[in-house]
Chains A and B, each alone.
Chain A
Amino acid sequence: MAREGGQQHKTARKTSEEDSPPESAPSEAASERKEKLDDDVDAILDDIDEVLESNAEEFVRGFVQKGGE
């Protein structure tokens, strides 16, 4: 039954939290993937830095809305 399925997931996760598996050394492929991810993140932040409004505090304070709906 679907209803029990939900509970099984919960139990399964609890068990895995209790006896957490030993940390395995990251494989070469995984560390390469992480490096690539870090490069991507740097590139994203550089891109976003360029467009972020300059005075964050003032800009955020100035955004005042009336309720809607």
Chain B
Amino acid sequence: MTVRRIMGTETEFGISVLGTPSANPMLASSQVVNAYASTSARSRRARWDFEEENPLRDARGFDLSRSAADPSQLTDEDVGLANLILTNGARLYVDHAHPEFSTPECTNPRDVVRWDKAGEQIIVTAANAVRIPDQNPIVLYKNNTDNKGASYGAHENYLMKRSTPFPDIVRHITPFFVSRQVICGAGRVGIGQDGQTSGFQISQRADFFEVEVGLETTLKRPIVNTRDEPHADPEKYRRLHVIIGDANLAEISTYLKVGTTSLVLAMIEDRALTADLAIDNPVSELHKVSHDPTLKHLVSLRDGRSMSALDLQECYLEQARDYVDAHLGADADKQTRDVLDRWESVLSRLRTDPVSCRRELDWVAKLALLESYRERDGLEWDDPKLRLIDLQYADLRPDKGLYQRLVARGSIDRLLTDDEVTRAVSEPPVDTRAYFRGRCLAQYPDRIAAASWDSVIFDLPGRDSLQRIPTMEPTRGTRHHVGELLDRCSTAEDLFEAITS
């Protein structure tokens, strides 16, 4: 059992045209994505291939009929909005009224952070490339709410064994999701969906969750989302689509978010979780944990016990630590050990000296900054300046974003070097099918008609029909499998011949 599995993130960015609140966000989002396309010299733009998408397939075993679905759930209809596949294997497109970046498939938490960060760099480059006469600059935010009732997501995806019963996942992951915000919350000024009650809370997203389990992502948001669209062999895999997380800027927040979640999922797959932590009222406890930055709130369990979010997290940590020690001992890989050590360190400091986590965790960094302003300027929580600090923390412009400023002055710890992030802007991970997709797009740009997570479609000279290469197995198409082949094939025709002969 390790932190390793196929996983990735999807981020919807907040978008505004400076000084123009009436600007059309769909138009601005399209401008951003199209501007990124124009920064590359490619003559042809590959389409997204929707053939294998099933956004209405439910993990509980049924399909929602299309007529019963809310129009926002029909994500597989190509509505002509901008949609790009990049040479790093990622997808950049317009989802409703936001530009969205999906990382390529990664195999470990550190790589997820790396391509998630590359996504920030890509979206900023894209916004800077928009040149519309008489239009003010477009600014992008990595946050999840406008504090006026709207929320947009930062999703995570984890590939799991199909053989794991879905009810087991729901039972064990729900208490984990209710409590993990104390580590990976991004912090928010304002309570309630419209943020109108004054105060600070740990999570951007918590107040927008209304049910325990469900298929929706935009209405009645569920703690556990049941979308069952593996983009891989459905006999073998399911994809857990996690919609409850906040958009994190701090690298260590993202690292711990996906690292600890991957570990807990591994224990669920191996039926290794013995503690029953079922929560009496998960939705209302989710809100209460978020509303208590002192971390003292006690969550009521179904068996009558009460535990704080830190107690719950420690319970998962102890089980993970015991499990890794028992099964791997000294053979555990470095990253699994590192995630366990950092998880333990952060939990123990959140108990004794939370502010010591301000170099690692978004909500603590944000709260420390807000408290400093409150002390110096005597501000109450309803002061617009504190709301501005919350918003501007997520501004992605290097000169304006407060997170960016904290990093620049060395007040935030990092996992990655700038160079690693910059390379991930154009290069795919080498150990998943994203490698094949990314390299094909880089090497044969004019011969790729379309692509998606599970296919690359070639338009080859001398052939009337398009040729589809399925990539249903996420662990294949790696540098190890196809690196040499791609090095050898100077044209798409050569490659297609070599693969199909």
C-alpha spacing A60/B395, complex, angstroms = 12
List residues of chain A with CB within 8 A of the CB of B489.
none
A25 within 8 A of B: no
A8 to B425, CA, bound (A): 47
Question: Which residues of A are found within 8 Å of B217, using beta-carbon distances?
Answer: 69
Tell which of A1, A51, A65, A67 touches B405, judged by Cβ atoms closer than 8 Å.
A51
Distance between Cα atoms of A26 and B259 in the complex (Å) = 38
On whether the beta carbons of A68 and B95 are closer than 8 Å, the reply is yes
Contact between chains at B146 and A65 (CB < 8 Å):
yes
Asked whether B373 lies within 8 Å of A45 as measured between CB atoms, the reply is: yes
Q: Report the Cα distance A68→B151, complex, angstroms.
A: 7
Main secondary structure of the interface of B (DSSP, over half): mixed
In the complex, A20 has a CB within 8 A of chain B: no
Q: Which residues of A contact B392 (CB under 8 A)?
A: 51-53
Is the pair B391, A6 in contact by a Cβ cutoff of 8 Å? no
Whether B152 lies near A45 (C-beta < 8 A) is no
A residues 15-66 in Cβ contact with B at 8 Å: 40-41, 43-45, 47-48, 51-53, 56-57, 59-66
Query: Do the beta carbons of B147 and A60 come within 8 Å of each other?
Result: yes
With A45-B373, A69-B243 already in contact, the answer to whether A3 and B150 are too (CB < 8 A) is: no
Question: Is B35 part of the binding interface, using a Cβ–Cβ cutoff of 8 Å?
Answer: no
Specify which of A41, A48, A68 lies most central, judged by the most chain B CB atoms within 10 Å of its CB: A68
- Are B15's CB and A60's CB within 8 A? no
- Known pairs A5-B315, A63-B16, A69-B12; A51 contacts B400 (CB<8 A): yes
Interface size on B, residues (CB 8 A): 63
Residues of A within 8 A of B148 (CB): 64-65
Is residue B142 within 8 Å, beta carbon to beta carbon, of the partner chain?
Answer: no
Task: Name the interface residues of B326-375: CB closer than 8 Å to any CB of A.
Answer: 351, 369, 372-373
User: B95 — which chain A residues lie within 8 A by C-beta?
Assistant: 68-69
The answer, yes or no, to whether B463 is at the interface (CB within 8 Å) is no
Q: Could you tell me the distance between the alpha carbons of A44 and B373 in the complex, rounded to whole angstroms?
A: 10
Contact status A67-B305, CB under 8 Å: no
**Are A3's CB and B14's CB within 8 A?**
no
Q: What residues of chain B lie closer than 8 Å to A69, measured between beta carbons?
A: 12, 72, 95-96, 151-153, 155, 217-218, 243
In the assembled complex, B307 has its CB within 8 A of some CB on chain A = yes
Chain A residues contacting B97 (CB-CB under 8 Å) are 65-68
> In the complex, are the beta carbons of A5 and B14 less than 8 A apart?
no
Residues of A within 8 A of B383 (CB): 56
B387 within 8 A of A: yes
Q: Are A3 and B146 in contact (CB under 8 A)?
A: no
Distance A2 CA – B311 CA, assembled complex (angstroms): 10
- Pairwise interchain contact B391-A60, C-beta atoms closer than 8 A: yes
Docked-complex contact A2 and B315, CB < 8 angstroms: yes
The answer to whether B402 and A48 have CB atoms under 8 Å apart is yes
Can you list, as one digit per residue, whether each of B266-283 has a CB less than 8 Å from chain A (1) or not (0)? 000000001111000000
A64 surroundings in chain B (CB, below 8 A): 16, 21, 146, 148, 150
Query: What 0/1 readout, one digit per residue, does chain B (289-332) give for beta carbons within 8 Å of chain A?
Result: 00000000010000001111011101100110010000000000
**Residue from A6, A56, A57 within 8 A of B314 (CB atoms):** A6
- Does B169 make an interface contact (CB < 8 A)? no
In the assembled complex, B240 has its CB within 8 A of some CB on chain A: no
If the complex has contacts A6-B311, A44-B369, are A63 and B391 also in contact, measured as CB distance less than 8 A?
yes
Decide yes or no whether B134 CB sits under 8 A from chain A.
no
Residues of chain A within 8 A of B72, CB atoms compared: 69
Residue of A nearest to B189 (CB): A60
Q: Is the CB of B307 within 8 A of A45?
A: no
Partner of A5, one of B150, B277, B306, B314: B314
Contacts of B318 in A (CB 8 A): 2, 5
> CB-CB contacts of B373-402 with A at 8 A, as 1s and 0s?
100100000011101110110000001101
Binding site for B on A (CB under 8 A): 1-3, 5-7, 9-10, 13, 40-41, 43-45, 47-48, 51-53, 56-57, 59-69
Can you give 17 A-B contacts (C-beta < 8 A)? A6-B312, A6-B315, A9-B311, A44-B369, A44-B409, A51-B392, A52-B385, A52-B388, A53-B400, A61-B21, A63-B141, A63-B147, A65-B14, A66-B150, A67-B96, A68-B97, A69-B155
Q: Contacts A43-B409, A64-B16 known; list 8 others, CB within 8 Å.
A: A48-B369, A48-B389, A51-B400, A53-B392, A56-B387, A65-B16, A65-B98, A68-B12
| A-B pairs, 9 with minimum CB distance | A68-B152, A66-B97, A65-B146, A57-B384, A56-B388, A69-B217, A2-B318, A56-B384, A3-B275
